């Protein structure tokens, strides 16, 4: 015992004499548990503090730096543990595999994106508006939480409340141009989103397609994956389950069975697929037609007015409830079609279901955008932008409610039926395709609504956080792991690609038409009285032309931002780089196969 104590004292003394980087590396390389490493680190810091006191004031800055570093490390550890998905993702991956885990990873990614969006809009648009806001004289009844109208109409939630004046609290002091702040904040946010989506797709593509380690995945998992610092019994069991699931998925991918069908069986399968596609497309067309006629009649009734406020509030909810019902019930029909078609792999079933769902949801969103930009914008409303913002608010809120109800009726009641009434059915599986498309649909509505309701990302942020916990609890209690284990390395890449195209690119088209083509309302919003929202930028550039100092901004605007040639050159360079990168990928794959064959020989 005394020898061990002396050895530890010697170790602490030697570590204390090292530089900071050498000491950190030495502690990291120790074959000890994390708890033991922390104890050693704390003893070393105490030893350094004692020495610094004897040496006098010369060593004080170093000790302060180490104490700040220690505080930062501790704060980082606590912050990491406070994240709601810190432990949940590990448990989900271990119990249900990477296919179900990919949904929750995607949900976490969207949650972070909406947090970023909310902070930008709140900081650059909402906070300045508070300084120039007028008091709200409308009464709050509680129905506004469902409809988004009434009291909320005169708040920072909607476009129509924002001023078109230049905000200045001090005479001859700095001013804040709300028109420029509004359009630049939204524009820069979409540019940042474009880059985030692009780099995320590139990162996941590189990880899952280029460096997927298809030939050595099982060997590396067996020989190099285990973390010997894990000593907690629960953590050990969780790691074992996770490793077991990943090895099963890898083996399933390697040992794929190629089923040979007869000519008659192939004809039957092709006919089944064709009938399923005809049925799914016909359903999507019928749903879009219903939404179109309902939206037109809804606007007519809304413009006529109602005898009492309750009728008016109820009429507002008809369109979002019908749209959410279609988006909730029709995907169950698509999932049933997938089971009838009997795909060879679960991956084929999920991807086909996702494609059918994306056709349905994007078509419905397209019909709604046509209704907003061509019918509502041309109506006799005093502030059509606020009407659009209220519509999108109701769609987001009702879609969130139906998402929670879908977990209850689609998973909880299905479990009760499968375990009591009809035991043959068993527990349900988590429907990845339907749930992923629900997220993409909700995010698409949020992107469209940012221009008309700047605080909508904050509402979606809360909704996604609640969905994460509800889906996690429902998954753990109601669902069973997939019957067919399969590896889904490319799933997250596919989800982000679907979010980028057609969702994000379609939203950019809608925002572009609104900003460049549509005339803003005459009596509300920051762009009132202008021929278009973008006219605010043109007027600002004309003002800058009179200042010599700002000539470079004017040059950039005329020669880069307003130049079609500039964007054509950028697009050409991007396409060339993409082509070269693709050729490099193909060469790497060919080289990997050759090396693999050499190893076999």
Per the structure block, which two tokens stand in for 504? 């994000």
Torsion of CA 343, 345, 350, 355, to 10 degrees: -60
Rounded-to-integer distance, Cα 485 and Cα 251, Å: 9
| Residue 393 host element (H or E) | helix 384-407
pLDDT at 413: 81
Rounded-to-integer distance, Cα 325 and Cα 510, Å: 24
Question: What mean pLDDT do residues 547-557 have?
Answer: 84
Longest dimension (CA), the chain: 92
Q: How many residues does the chain have?
A: 601
pLDDT at 215: 45
User: In this model, does residue 405 exceed pLDDT 80?
Assistant: yes
Write out the E strands in 136-190: 166-167, 176-177
Q: Which residue intervals of 419-529 are DSSP H helices? A: 432-449, 456-478, 491-498, 505-516
Question: What mean pLDDT do residues 521-544 have?
Answer: 89
- Give pLDDT tens digits for 105-122: 889 999 999 999 999 999
More confident residue, 513 or 348: 513
- Give pLDDT tens digits for 354-397: 889 889 999 999 999 999 999 888 887 788 999 899 999 999 99
For residue 337, give the nearest of 273, 288, 398 by alpha carbon: 273
Phi, psi angles (nearest 5°) of residue 129: -65, -30
Torsion of CA 312, 385, 191, 535, to 10 degrees: 180
User: In this model, does residue 493 exceed pLDDT 90?
Assistant: no
Q: Where are the domains of the chain?
A: 1-31, 86-212+262-530
Inter-helix orientation angle 491-498/346-370, to 10°: 10
**What confidence category does residue 58 fall into, taking pLDDT thresholds of 50, 70 and 90?**
very low
Question: What mean pLDDT do residues 400-411 have?
Answer: 85
Rounded-to-integer distance, Cα 160 and Cα 522, Å: 10
429 three-state secondary structure: strand
Question: What mean pLDDT do residues 16-30 have?
Answer: 80
Question: What mean pLDDT do residues 303-312 have?
Answer: 63
User: In this model, does residue 564 exceed pLDDT 50?
Assistant: yes
pLDDT at 441: 92
**In sequence order, which residues have a C-beta less than 8 Å from that of residue 483 and are 6 or more positions away?**
429
Rounded-to-integer distance, Cα 120 and Cα 565, Å: 31
% of the chain residues with pLDDT over 70: 82
pLDDT at 502: 85
User: In this model, does residue 64 exceed pLDDT 60?
Assistant: no
First to last CA, the chain: 56
**Is the CA virtual torsion 336, 337, 342, 344 positive or negative?**
negative
User: Which of 167-181, 193-207, 209-223 comes out lowest in average pLDDT?
Assistant: 209-223
Predicted structure pTM score:
0.78
User: In this model, does residue 561 exceed pLDDT 70?
Assistant: yes
> Rounded mean pLDDT of the chain?
81
**In sequence order, which residues have a C-beta less than 8 Å from that of residue 389 and are 6 or more positions away?**
148, 157, 158, 159, 160, 449, 452, 453, 456
Backbone torsion region of residue 230, taken as left when φ is above 0, otherwise alpha when ψ lies between -120 and 50, otherwise beta: beta
Torsion of CA 35, 37, 40, 41, to 10 degrees: -110
Question: What mean pLDDT do residues 337-342 have?
Answer: 84
301 burial (CB, 10 Å; 0-12 / 13-18 / 19+) is: middle
User: In this model, does residue 232 exceed pLDDT 80?
Assistant: no
pLDDT at 291: 92
pLDDT at 2: 41
pLDDT at 218: 57
Residue 72: how many other CB atoms lie within 10 Å: 10
pLDDT at 600: 87
pLDDT at 187: 92
More confident residue, 69 or 452: 452
- Give pLDDT tens digits for 162-177: 988 888 766 766 788 8
CB-based contact 122:452 (threshold 8 Å): no
**What confidence category does residue 452 fall into, taking pLDDT thresholds of 50, 70 and 90?**
very high
More confident residue, 460 or 561: 460
Question: What mean pLDDT do residues 66-78 have?
Answer: 57
Per the structure block, which two tokens stand in for 474? 């429902």
Per the structure block, which two tokens stand in for 34? 């994390």
């Amino acid at each position: 015992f005394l020898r061990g104590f002396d050895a530890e004292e010697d170790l602490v003394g030697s570590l204390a004499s090292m530089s900071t980087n050498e000491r950190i590396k030495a502690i990291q390389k120790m074959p000890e548990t994390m708890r033991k490493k922390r104890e050693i680190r704390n003893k070393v810091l105490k030893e350094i503090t004692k020495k610094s006191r004897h040496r006098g004031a010369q060593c004080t800055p170093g000790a302060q730096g180490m104490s700040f570093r220690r505080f930062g490390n501790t704060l980082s550890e606590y912050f990491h543990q406070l994240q709601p998905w810190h432990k949940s993702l590990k448990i989900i991956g271990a119990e249900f595999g990477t296919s179900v885990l990919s949904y929750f990873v995607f949900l976490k990614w969207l949650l972070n994106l909406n947090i970023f969006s909310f902070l930008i809009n709140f900081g650059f648009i909402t906070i300045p508006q508070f300084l120039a806001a007028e008091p709200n004289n409308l009464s709050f009844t509680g129905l506004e939480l469902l409809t988004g109208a009434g009291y909320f109409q005169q708040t920072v939630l909607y476009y129509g409340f924002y001023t078109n004046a230049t905000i200045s609290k001090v005479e001859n002091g700095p001013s804040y141009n709300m028109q420029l702040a509004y359009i630049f904040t939204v524009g820069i946010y979409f540019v940042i989103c474009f880059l985030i989506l692009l780099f995320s797709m590139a990162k996941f593509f590189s990880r899952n397609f280029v460096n997927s380690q298809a030939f050595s995945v099982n060997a590396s998992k067996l020989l190099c994956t285990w973390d010997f610092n894990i000593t907690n019994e629960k953590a050990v069991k969780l790691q074992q389950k996770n490793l077991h699931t990943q090895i099963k998925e890898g083996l399933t991918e390697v040992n794929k069975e190629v089923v040979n069908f007869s000519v008659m069986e192939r004809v039957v399968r092709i006919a089944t697929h064709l009938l399923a596609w005809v049925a799914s497309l016909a359903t999507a067309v019928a749903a879009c037609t219903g939404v179109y006629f309902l939206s037109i009649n809804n606007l007519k009734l809304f413009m006529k007015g109602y005898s009492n406020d309750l009728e008016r509030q109820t009429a507002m909810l008809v369109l979002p409830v019908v749209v959410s019902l279609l988006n909730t019930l029709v995907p169950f029909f698509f999932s049933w079609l997938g089971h009838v078609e009997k795909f060879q792999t679960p991956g084929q079933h999920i991807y086909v279901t996702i494609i059918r769902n994306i056709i349905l949801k994007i078509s419905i969103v397209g019909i709604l955008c046509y209704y907003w930009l061509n019918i509502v914008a041309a109506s006799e409303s005093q502030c059509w932008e606020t009407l659009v913002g209220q519509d999108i608010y109701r769609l987001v809120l009702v879609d969130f409610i139906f998402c929670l109800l879908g977990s209850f009726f689609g998973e909880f009641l299905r479990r009760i039926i499968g375990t009591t009434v009809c035991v043959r059915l068993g527990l349900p599986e988590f429907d990845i395709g339907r749930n992923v498309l629900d997220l993409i649909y909700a995010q698409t509505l949020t992107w469209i609504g940012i221009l008309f309701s700047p605080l909508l990302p904050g509402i979606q942020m809360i909704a996604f956080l609640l969905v994460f916990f509800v889906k996690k609890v429902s998954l753990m209690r109601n669902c069973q792991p997939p019957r067919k284990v399969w590896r889904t390395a490319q799933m997250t890449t596919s989800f982000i690609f679907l979010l980028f195209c057609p969702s994000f690119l379609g939203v950019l088209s809608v925002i572009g038409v609104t900003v460049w083509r549509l005339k803003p309302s005459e009596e509300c919003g920051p762009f009132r009285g202008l021929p278009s929202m973008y006219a605010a930028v043109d007027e600002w550039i004309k003002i800058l032309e009179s200042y010599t100092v700002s000539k470079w901004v004017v040059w950039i605007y005329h020669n880069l931002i307003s130049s079609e040639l500039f964007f054509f050159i950028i697009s050409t360079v991007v396409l060339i780089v993409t082509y070269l990168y693709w050729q490099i990928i193909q060469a790497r794959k060919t080289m990997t196969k050759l090396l693999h064959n050499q190893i076999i020989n």
